[in-house]
Each structure stands twice: as structure tokens, then as C-alpha cells.
Amino acid sequence: MDLTGRAALITGAKRIGGAVARELARRGMDVAISYNRSRDEAEAAGADIRAAGRRAHVAAANLSQPDECRAIVDAAANAFGRLDVLVNMASVYSAIPFEDTDALAWNAVVDIDLRAAFLCARAAVPHMRRGGGGRIVNFSDWVASSGRPRYPGYLPYYVAKAGAIALTEALALELARDQILVNAVAPGPILAPPGTSPEEMKAVEDATPLGRWGGEDAITRAVLFLIETDFVTGETIRVDGGRHVR
């Protein structure tokens, strides 16, 4: 896909989402960004998109609400007159003991990390069909992609991210005839969470065969590949520095 003059929606603009948005704008795309609580980060990314000479649409959305999933997709398409790319990056990541994982705790994660990706994709497909095709990039996790849970306390997150892989494969089959390619990225150690101690950072580096954190550019390059390719669909690409082989 030639990116020039096309339009994308990225759900979630904090940290890596903002980096992806900026790179897509640099490549000639108009970019819409949805955010929940990270308004300052989203607005900053929007300003950088405009500074790159492209149009930006920045809006709040609570993607746990199905109506808001459709609304943010339609608003992006209306703002640009088209929608060619959807990047489902919105995610909830927090540890919770199994004993505290009730229905509310389960839904708080699964509704964002899995259901919202489906609902946003479903809303985006009619717009992509009108444009003759499109790209959907979902986000999983290197642990889910490795095929087995490794860390206790992340039950809903693991299940949702494993589901994102299944969703990617099933959507790829459903939408292939429309030339809508659906793939996923499974990040590993990319950016250290706020508050990570030097000792914790070193432990991650030691556990990663490449011996370092990947940095946001590693994800940006993977997303670009999955948008630009015209013959890869139904795949999940691990961007984890080799964590899954150790």
C-alpha cells in the first residue's frame, strides 16, 4: 500500500501509539488518534502530525463502550473522507491476583484488549471496502504469542492477547476477498514502564537474547511493514528481541 494521501486511525496514543502516528504522518498519511485518559500525549501527537503537513483528528473515546468504538471510527472516516488503516493499540495492562479477578475485573481488560479491537474493525470495514481495501493491525503480546503464560497475575490480559491473535487470523480469512489485510504485532520489551528500577531494567536485558530493550522504533517499523505489504495477512509478528526463544 502506498501511504501517501491515505488515512489511518490509531486507538491509543500514549508512548508507542504516538510514535506510530508521527511516522505515518511523515510517510504522507492523515492520522486520527483516540485516547481515554492520555489527552496531553494525544494532543501533542496531533500537533506533530499537523506540523508534518498532514491532517490530524484527535478525540476521546471509552472503547469499553461499543457505541464509542463505532463513533470514533466513523468520526475518523468523516474527518478525512476515507479510512484505509486501523491500528488497534488501546490496551489495559495491570496485574491482579486470581482471587480478585471477578467479572468486573475481567471485563475491564477483555473489553478493551479484545472486544474493542473487533468492534473497531467491524466499524472500519465498510469504509475500507469503499476505498477498495485496507489494513488492520492488532496488538497482541510476546507472551501470548509464545503459546504459554509465563507470569501469574495477568489472566485476563493473557487471554485477551491470545484472543487478539485468533481474531487476527479469523478476520484475515473473512476479509481477504475485500483486499483488507489483517495482521498483528506482539511486542516484547520495548519501553520500560514508568517506575521501572535500574535493577528491573537490567533483569529484562539479561533475559532478552539481544540484550536490550527494543525502543519505540522497533514497533513503528513492524507496523509500517504490515501496512505497506500487499501479500501478508493473518500473521502475528513478534517484536521481542528473541525473548520467545529463551
Given 35, 93, 151, 157, the catalytic residue: 157
Q: Are 168 and 135 in contact (CB under 8 A)?
A: no
For cell 475491564, the residue is: 108
Helix (H, G, I), strand (E, B) or coil at 131: coil
| Nearest CA-CA partner of 58 in 109, 99, 17, 105 | 17
> How far, in Å, are 14, 33, 38, 58, 101 from residue 43 at the CA level?
10, 9, 9, 7, 34
Phi first, then psi: give them for residue 91, nearest 5 degrees.
Answer: -155, 150
Residue carrying the nine cell digits 475481567: 106
Cβ pair 128, 178 in contact under 8 A: yes
Active site residue 151: no
Q: Which three cell numbers stand for residue 58?
A: 484527535
Which residues participate in catalysis according to the annotation? 157
